[in-house]
Structure 1
Amino acid sequence: MTMPTPQAPAPGFPLPAPPESGDGKPGGQLNAKQKTVLGCGGMVALFLIVTMIAAVVSPSKATKPAEAKPAPTVTVTVTATVTVTAPPPVEAKAPEPSPTQEAAPQTAQVPDMTGKSGDLLVEALKTAGFADGYKATSFHDVSGQGRTVLLLKNWKICDQDPKNKAVPLTDKISVGVVKFGESCP
């Protein structure tokens, strides 16, 4: 905002001097108290304007459809008393011990997969009846390098224990492997 530059008065008409207040300031300037009052008043006016705009823009309750109110609920409580007389307790006899056989663990035939890949053994164990062929096995590197056996199709079975034998489904099959292309020890 640019301020207009004062112009020289026309000949014969001097410019009026701004009136001075009692504190030595020109009459057109505001003191701190006047600025505070005007600032607060401006904020109140702004709040009122925003509130009026919001009231005009938002729908009133009168324009909303009436909501159905549920009928009041009535609860009726009926109390009845029933007396039951139990017969005297009867001594229970312990059941006669019967000769029982312990359930034999389920077994499955472990095929000999020597020379084949580890993933084929896992599939064969699933087919034989093991719930999870991978969990039924314990693979280890027998090359002496101590490598971790991860991708079973890349590993050749050198030795397995047991093989060609029926074992309980809870037994672990120990499998010694080397990478394909390597010789079994």
Structure 2
Amino acid sequence: MKVSVRPGLRRAGVVLGGAAAATLLTVTTAAAAGPPMPELRGRGLMHVFSTLDYRTRVEVRDVGGSHRNVLWPLSWKVCTQSPAPGAKLDGETVTVGVVKNGERCPRK
């Protein structure tokens, strides 16, 4: 059995494939840019973990001066954050400075 393909159809398929690939590349690039960083200062530490994507790496630091380990996120509030609110999250680590609930955030 012999199958013949007309040259015009073959070119149309290549053009369509190229357009589909360009569309796929655009969608992938837009998804990789990530959402903007939310404002986290003044919120509870648990809010950070429930707001950010689960794949986002979060580094937590006690900025109260005692260098304590954070064992129970519900007992801590956010004083500082990096990156700044509104910045695009591109897979980078989010760093938050925290103090225990009831303590004041240190002055800069």
- TM-based fold match above 0.5: yes
Give TM-score scaled by structure 2 length: 0.64
Query: C-alpha deviations, 1:103-147, integer Å up to 9, x for none?
Result: 63341222101111111111111xxxx2x16x5210010011010
Q: Within 5 Å, give how 1:43-122 maps onto structure 2.
A: 104=29, 105-122=32-49
Query: Which residue pairs with 2:13 in the alignment?
Result: none
The 8 Å contact of residues 57 and 93 in structure 2, kept in 1 or not, is answered as yes
Amino acid at match of 1:151: W
Query: Which residue pairs with 2:6 in the alignment?
Result: none
Q: 1:154 aligns with which of 63, 69, 75?
A: 75
Query: Which residue pairs with 1:34 in the alignment?
Result: none
Q: What is the DSSP-based 3-state SS (H/G/I as helix, E as strand, rest coil) of the residue aligned with 1:156?
A: strand
> How far is 1:171 from its partner?
1.1
> How far is 1:153 from its partner?
1.2
Unaligned runs of 5+ in 1: 1-99
> How far is 1:165 from its partner?
1.9
- The one of the two structures with greater contact order (alpha-carbon pairs below 8 A, sep at least 6) is 2
Cα distance in 2 for partners of 1:164, 1:119 equals 20
Query: Which residue pairs with 1:184 in the alignment?
Result: 105
Query: Which residue pairs with 2:86 in the alignment?
Result: 164
Amino acid at match of 2:103: E
Question: What RMSD, in angstroms, separates the aligned Cα atoms of the two structures?
Answer: 2.2
Cα distance in 1 for partners of 2:88, 2:74 equals 25
Unaligned runs of 5+ in 2: 1-21
Q: Which 4+ runs in 1 deviate beyond 3 A?
A: 100-104
Question: Which structure has the bigger radius of gyration?
Answer: 1
The 8 Å contact of residues 33 and 88 in structure 2, kept in 1 or not, is answered as no
Q: Percent identity?
A: 29
Give aligned pairs, total.
80
Per residue, is there more helix in 1 or in 2? 2
The 8 Å contact of residues 81 and 96 in structure 2, kept in 1 or not, is answered as yes
